[in-house]
Amino acid sequence: MSMRSSTAPGDLLSEPRDRVWFNAPFIDKWTVTIRIVNDGTKQIGWALKTNAPARISANPAMGVLNSKETQLLVITCEPFNNQTVDVSADRITFEWCLTPSSNTAKIFRKEWFQEDVIIRRKNMAISYNN
């Protein structure tokens, strides 16, 4: 059994911590900046997903963080009709796992998430001020 399959990665901290807000009107594209920090002692690979890909995107949407390293992300909300679109369940989800110890170049590989590793998840709600 490898260390990656038996060791959980540390916490992924975020600012804001658990919710992202976008303000009306929703006729223009809006952006919000999020800061994430690898609070663990080992390098992680991370990826951001959303259940609302028609409205919500992130740049970057994946990456590699060394221990205690910080990354700024820009979350974008595309214009939409808030009178006809149900946004009540919108969220983004971070997934992260330990990287192979040989990943000194900090190259992200989505295949890591399909290997026998412990994957952690963090959900952040998306709220819209009308």
Q: Domain ranges for the chain, please list them.
A: 3-82+89-129
Beta strands across the sheet bearing 70-77: 12-15, 30-38, 70-77, 56-59
Q: How much is the pLDDT for 25?
A: 92
pLDDT averaged over every residue in the chain: 95
Output the CATH code of domain 3-82+89-129. 2.60.40.10
**Is residue 1 predicted with pLDDT exceeding 60?**
no
pLDDT tens-digit readout, 29-60: 999 999 999 999 999 999 999 999 999 999 99
- Range name among 13-17, 22-26, 91-95 with the lowest pLDDT average: 22-26
pLDDT of residue 2: 62
Q: Which tokens hold the place of 14? A: 């975020």
